[in-house]
Amino acid sequence: MSAVSPAPPPTPVDSPVDAGLLPLTAEVRPEGLVVGGVLLEQIARRHGTPLFVYDEEHLRRRCREAVAAFGRGNVAYASKAFLCTAMARLAAEEGLLLDVASGGELRTALHAGVEPDRIVLHGNNKDDAELRTAMSAGVRHIVVDSFDELERIERLHHVEGLPPARIRVRVAPGVAAGAHQAIQTGGHDSKFGFGLADGAARAAVRRARASSAVRLEGVHAHVGSQVLDPAELADGAAAMARFAVDSEVAGLTVGGGLGVAYVGGQSAPSFAVWAEKVRAAVRGAGWTGEVGVEPGRSIVARAGLTLYRVGTVKRIPDVRTYVSVDGGMSDNLRPALYEARYEAFLPRCPEAVRPQRARLVGKHCESGDVIIDDAALPEDLRVGDLLATPVTGAYGYAMASNYNKLPRPAVVFVRDGRARLVVRRETEYDLLRLDVAAEEAEPAPRGEPVAPREAVRS
């Protein structure tokens, strides 16, 4: 079975944006597109652009659908897709656990008031500080990824007296799924987990059982991301279930990876279909217990969209048209990283046909700063227009950077006619806060005078 989802057909040149790509509360009014009861043009005027806008009702519905499909206590939101304190609180309120993959994500979840017993810590190279925080706080469990990590946990327990850690052992089951090689994580050649084929996973289970520093609670795997065929996820689940039964562990987590539609012509399975396929697979492998999952993208992707202002329209005869916006790869790295595809539309006329073809680009000093290589756009697009790219709620803000010293965008949640700022826009002052000024730098060695600031040249 192929691990790569088939590419959708190209968007017809006379087609408006597919309504299935928009947030669930999106509605078209005479003045333009409204999400969460708020006009997108109004949000952009108030909060500026680039801007991430999330439909809060959409987020909550997706959380509830996941819990309904897999059961309360069995769904952990994969916060790497998008995390801020507001999102952490929302997921917890809707009955989800939180899957965090770094000390920073862990700190954010704790700051949001999420109970430690509802937090799961991931990561292939957790350092002492991350493990110390997790063990001290008493997180639900740590997903252990290597023998070196087991040794660090044992040292923290025996030397520093930290309580034993509840753990699940991450396994690379030899099943790789996902729309791009960079997001296929469960194969034999992976930086994640203990290999099943080479016996490392069995050795890790034995080691964990023999250690007084850990409490083995189960096994875990994640085979890939942006998977549109749930049978691929079921294959990984079956392999893990067989291993879990053979290892006589109490818990089984089969990760996330459910994909979403990014462009017209794509479709994605529901949580209910995913759950049906996974349950059938694990039962066929002899597993009779509960199954944990970790959706991220499928919770937040379609709930979010990015708003930009068009700054330049450059038509090169017999070549192409370039449309430049005020963001780019610093707020959406996925096209450059994974060749990810998106669509675009004008919120002032979301039902307009889009016969114009253009390369939608950002403002960075990179030729590869391309958001959509061959975007379908309305013929009357002009400088100053508000432009939106839908389905950017996952791995947009989460991967945002300050490349070219661009401040990261703000994030707004909309619901019931109200726009709520949940992450403020960075300022240029924020960009300088971590810089160490010349007079604050480490003193020069004796005999080497420091040049006056005005004398320093780049």
Residue 179 has pLDDT above 80, yes or no: no
In a domain, 144, yes or no: yes
In a domain, 160, yes or no: yes
Residues 6+ positions from 445 with CB-CB distance below 8 Å: none
In a domain, 139, yes or no: yes
Residue 33 has pLDDT above 90, yes or no: yes
How many H-runs (helices) and E-runs (strands) does the chain carry?
12, 19
Which run of H or E residues covers position 188? none
What's the Cα-to-Cα distance from 102 to each of 85, 105, 109, 351, 387, rounded to whole Å? 15, 5, 11, 41, 33
Residues 6+ positions from 268 with CB-CB distance below 8 Å: 228, 258, 259, 260, 261, 298
Confidence of residue 109 (pLDDT cuts 50, 70, 90): very high
- Quick one: angle between helices 103-111 and 85-93, nearest 10? 70
SS3 335: helix
Q: What is the mean pLDDT of the chain?
A: 91
Calculate mean pLDDT across residues 158-167: 98
Residue 307 has pLDDT above 90, yes or no: yes
Calculate mean pLDDT across residues 366-391: 97
Calculate mean pLDDT across residues 405-409: 97
Calculate mean pLDDT across residues 169-187: 61
349 is catalytic: no
Question: DSSP assignment, residue 431?
Answer: H
* pLDDT score of 116: 98
| Stated pTM of the model | 0.90
Number of domains the chain contains? 1
Which run of H or E residues covers position 398? none
* pLDDT score of 350: 96
Residue 444 has pLDDT above 60, yes or no: no
CA distance 203 to 165: 18
Calculate mean pLDDT across residues 313-327: 97
* pLDDT score of 445: 54
Which run of H or E residues covers position 369? none
Residue 317 has pLDDT above 60, yes or no: yes
SS3 85: helix
Q: What percent of the chain has pLDDT over 70?
A: 89
In a domain, 107, yes or no: yes
> Are 138 and 116 a contacting pair, CB within 8 Å?
yes
Q: Which residue has the higher pLDDT, 338 or 364?
A: 364
In a domain, 64, yes or no: yes
Task: Report the chain's C-alpha Rg in angstroms.
Answer: 24
Residue 224 has pLDDT above 90, yes or no: no
Calculate mean pLDDT across residues 118-136: 97
CA distance 43 to 325: 17
> Are 421 and 386 a contacting pair, CB within 8 Å?
no
* pLDDT score of 225: 87
What's the Cα-to-Cα distance from 128 to each of 54, 145, 399, rounded to whole Å? 35, 14, 24
**Domain range holding 230?**
54-297
Which run of H or E residues covers position 284? helix 271-284
Residue 397 has pLDDT above 90, yes or no: yes
Q: Name the nearest CA neighbour of 128 among 152, 106, 148.
A: 152
In a domain, 401, yes or no: no
In a domain, 8, yes or no: no
Which residues of 176-327 form beta strands (DSSP E)?
A: 194-195, 214-220, 252-253, 304-316, 320-325
C-beta atoms surrounding 439 within 10 Å: 7
Confidence of residue 448 (pLDDT cuts 50, 70, 90): very low
Question: DSSP assignment, residue 187?
Answer: S
* pLDDT score of 183: 39
CA distance 360 to 322: 6
> Which amino acid appears at position 88 of this protein?
A
Confidence of residue 2 (pLDDT cuts 50, 70, 90): very low
Q: What percent of the chain has pLDDT over 90?
A: 85
Instruction: Single out the catalytic residue among 63, 84, 349, 365.
Output: 365
Question: DSSP assignment, residue 201?
Answer: H
Residues 6+ positions from 215 with CB-CB distance below 8 Å: 164, 165, 166, 167
Q: Which residue has the tokens 């016996």?
A: 199
What's the Cα-to-Cα distance from 324 to each of 17, 227, 312, 369, 384, rounded to whole Å? 20, 31, 5, 10, 11
- Torsion sign (Cα): 257, 261, 265, 268: positive
Confidence of residue 321 (pLDDT cuts 50, 70, 90): very high
Calculate mean pLDDT across residues 407-419: 98
C-beta atoms surrounding 24 within 10 Å: 15
Confidence of residue 440 (pLDDT cuts 50, 70, 90): low
SS3 346: coil
CA distance 142 to 108: 17
Confidence of residue 443 (pLDDT cuts 50, 70, 90): low
Residue 458 has pLDDT above 50, yes or no: no
- Percent of residues in the chain assigned helix, strand, coil, to nearest 5: 30, 25, 45
Residues 6+ positions from 384 with CB-CB distance below 8 Å: 309, 310
CA distance 102 to 116: 14
In a domain, 313, yes or no: no
Confidence of residue 188 (pLDDT cuts 50, 70, 90): low
Residue 442 has pLDDT above 90, yes or no: no
Give the domain CATH number at 175.
3.20.20.10
Q: What does the pLDDT look like over 351-377, one tens digit per residue?
A: 999 999 999 999 999 999 999 999 999
Calculate mean pLDDT across residues 325-329: 98
